[in-house]
Amino acid sequence: MFTRANPLSVMAQFFNIHVDNPQLRLIQQAVHIIKQGGVIVYPTDSCYALGCQIGNKDAATRLLAVRGLDVGHDLTLVCRDLSELGRYAQVDNTQFRFLKTHTPGAYTFVLRGTREVPRRLLHKKNDTIGLRVPDHSVVQALLAELGEPILSSTLLLPGEDVPLCEPWEIRERLEHQVDLVIDSGAGGMTPTTIVDLTTDTPVILRYGKGDTVEFES
């Protein structure tokens, strides 16, 4: 179990991981931190994100604290591919065709969860959860090594309108609140497009980086 008796006395590790060719040794070390209950900052195809292990309640609580959010706030499962997504979400044929067209990419899809999802992570009223498959080599390498989704949230700090995008600033501001910052260059400032797939037609809940022209035609 990865614990911090006094979080303010421990500084986050800082890994420079190449986007074009992620170093396996550093990927393995990052995954070890996740498995030990750590909270990490990592790059995606939209913005930098906070992440932790799906089954670790304490790590999820720490992640939410960084965001300034209450326990129980909706988080996202970042999946390696459509096959892994299908383990954690109920997907019918129509939804599958839609997902196949739009993954990987900068979208978060709201679907009804399966029994693989811890109950505490499901939306209280309708048992839904957000899931996504990012198009980014570093997070794909992390997911391949981890063997399960990363529980995640956009790196948007309390009181701010846009996510942090510069790794040096992320390190400076969060080095006592997270366990690892992965630097893969400057990140984006536009979060994912959120699409609700639980109704007969897709409903856009948030406009973001993912193109929505097809949904609205």
Q: What are the structural domain ranges in the chain?
A: 7-216
Best CA proximity match to 56, nearest among 139, 145, 141, 121 = 121
Question: In whole angstroms, what is the distance from residue 123 CA to residue 173 CA?
Answer: 30
Gyration radius from the chain CA atoms: 16
Q: Is 19 exposed, middle or buried (0-12, 13-18, 19+ CB in 10 A)?
A: exposed
Would you state the pLDDT for residue 8? 41
Tell me 138's DSSP state.
H
pLDDT along the chain (217 residues), means of 10: 46 95 98 97 97 96 94 91 97 95 96 95 92 98 98 95 94 95 96 95 94 79
Q: Is 77 exposed, middle or buried (0-12, 13-18, 19+ CB in 10 A)?
A: buried
Would you state the pLDDT for residue 217? 61
Q: Which CATH number fits domain 7-216: 3.50.50.60, 3.40.50.2300, 3.90.870.10, 3.40.1050.10?
A: 3.90.870.10
